[in-house]
Chains A and B, each alone.
Chain A
């Protein structure tokens, strides 16, 4: 590269000037000639010269003055003065100027001059080169991303710092320049850094290490330092590059922390019997196990070494492989899938192990990782299986309720209730119960959960077909899948309940029957007792009794005999009616007369009652057994009297109603409850059971009436209102029953 070096020759001696020019151009320099100061000035305006050879004696201006002028114009130009005058004062004055390199006297020594010029030129070229490299260097220095410092080897003083360096240290350029390099570092380590510095200088090549820089405010910055010796010009310097590694350090610390955390998790996993496996995708995208905890080799039967070179999914049972692979893929792409998954893995020996797995996505050392926590659930599965077998072969219905919902049912439960498993699982258990029993069952469950032991209780449930069935069950508290639950057993007792009801009915019937028998027995024995008693008394105490008393006793005996006769007649009538053997003696009868007679005699028996007859129309003649109809009337009227107060009315009425005769006996007595109205004519019915039990009789009266009326082809019924009174009515057909002497069968 040719460096520019132009020489200006200013001499009025033309020959000398030309001569100089030729020599210089032969050397390779470019020259220009000026015969006077003015020309020289003009040429300088047009072009820059590095060197000017100036004759001090010029026609228009002194050389010294010219130099002054030119110096202002071209500051960098240097001068060699030529002159014939060996004037000392002029020389001093001239040389006193800057940039005047030499003072040559004429006649010029050409070799000397050339040598001088060459020196100047070379110096200039060196300076130029240096300046250029300096500029280049400076640009580099300035634009670096890292902080850079240049320090002098001998003195240790910082000669330069770039902008980054200023920022790093927190000082301005002016503050840094001249500072000793050790001041870039913490004071307590000054010696250490001086030592290093000296070593760098000696070593001759770059060194890298981590260290600390100190800022103006005293805060420490962690830095990575690269130090290299350089030579610029003749100076030996140390070039120091400081890279702030605070971020890196933090990242490293964070990583260490997460590693520690990670390790803690793994250890925890081991404590709860869970294996921890970390899956990361390798270059081929396969999920390799990059970490396995000690539990995993135990569960899988492979060694740790073998596991670390296997893909996790090679261990998964084929039937679960696809699904778990897909999940893994999704997880690695960031999908969040919480939850436990059940699957099985194949051990090294080929056996299958059921496992439960949950995993979470995380990053480890900057790479995506899927960390799985795995638990061997062989035992649990075995328990479940055993449980299922036991419960399914149980003849008892079993169900487990948790949080009010049915979580488990056995085979028997489904068979019993008729529901399908899908219809009951996760449904509210109370829904199957009969509404009336829900509260009691719920309360029992609460008591049980409180810790009370309950005895079996009965409840009703509703089967699938809508049938209400009875059950006898127990309930107790258990742990199910880690939480409290209730285990309920029950057996269906619907059949037994029904049987019980039947038994109760039978017993009721039996009781009624024995009641009837004992009643009959009692009723018969009572008049007998009276007869026996009084008759024996009359015999034993005859002399001690007054005749009045004797008379009374005999009357009692008489009455008792009547009573006995009536009872026996009733019993016989009833038997005959039932057996269909009752014979009716039907004759044309004046019913009005019958009624009148009945009423009249009733009045005699119950004088205090007001017994009236009510006949509006003339009644037709009917074909009836008068004695029997009279019996019915007597019975009904006697009842009316019996069950109403003295002074109250009893009205007997009769009227024609279509093809029938309707006879009614109305009283103002105690009445009959509406739900008993139909039962009144039953054999064993006795109103008096509820009321005053002093009224005797065996309750056959009305049943016999019904039998007799029915035998006549009529109907008998009662209308009544409790507390107000009753009206007994019966009909008699006006047309003779085609059956003639009818048989009265109780319906």
Chain B
């Protein structure tokens, strides 16, 4: 396999503008190509367009919550390989277990620092490799 520095494409699905901006900015500074979506519809569209290396998913999304997105991605043959990091304002243990059992690679709780975000992304991408 050729070792070309391939720019990873990360999709963030988050409805809260400020948080979306913060997360995007941090990941951009880390050298990733960031795609943004404010809701599941937009998110799914971007996923289907392809070449997403990682999905950062807010579980508490309007209309259809993030759980649906997680389930959908993990059940579709072409998509289930994409690693998903879920983040949410909810700190419940059962939520964490549920998310992980559904195939999420990591579970982050808001408020999130720049560092924990950065590290989670690196760790997940590393595992994939």
Contacts and interface: CB of A to CB of B under 8 A. Distances in A.
Main secondary structure of the interface of A (DSSP, over half): helix
A693 interface: yes
Interface string B93-129: 0000000000000000011111101100000000000
Contacts, number: 72
Pairs A-B, 6 closest by C-beta atoms: A532-B111, A693-B62, A525-B89, A536-B113, A533-B22, A529-B110
11 contacts: A529-B16, A529-B22, A530-B18, A530-B19, A532-B110, A532-B111, A532-B113, A533-B22, A534-B18, A536-B113, A541-B26
Contacts of B63: 693
B117 to A, nearest CB: 8
A544 interface: yes
A533 B19 contact: yes
Report the interface size class on chain B.
20 to 34
A528 B112 CA distance: 9
B115 A528 contact: no
Interface string B1-44: 00000000000000110110111011001000000000000000
B15 A529 contact: no
Interface of B: 15-16, 18-19, 21-23, 25-26, 29, 60, 62-63, 89-90, 110-115, 117-118
Interface centre among A521, A529, A531, A534, by most chain B C-beta atoms within 10 angstroms, is A529
Contacts of B22: 529-530, 533-534, 537, 553, 556
B107 to A, nearest CB: 15
Contacts of A536: 113-115
Contact of B19 (A521, A526, A549, A694): A526
Interface of A: 518, 521-522, 525-526, 528-534, 536-537, 539-541, 544, 549, 553, 556, 560, 693-694
B90 A528 contact: no
Nearest to A541: B29
Contact of B29 (A518, A533, A544): A544
A518 B90 contact: yes
A521 B90 contact: yes
A537 B25 contact: yes
A532 B112 CA distance: 6
B116 to A, nearest CB: 8
Contact of B89 (A522, A549, A556): A522
B115 to A, nearest CB: 6
A533 B23 contact: yes
Contact of A526 (B23, B89, B113, B117): B89
A560 B22 CA distance: 13
B114 A556 contact: no
Contacts of B21: 556
B23 A521 contact: no
Nearest to A556: B18
A522 B114 CA distance: 19
Nearest to B117: A533
Contacts of A556: 18, 21-22
A531 B29 contact: no
Nearest to A557: B18
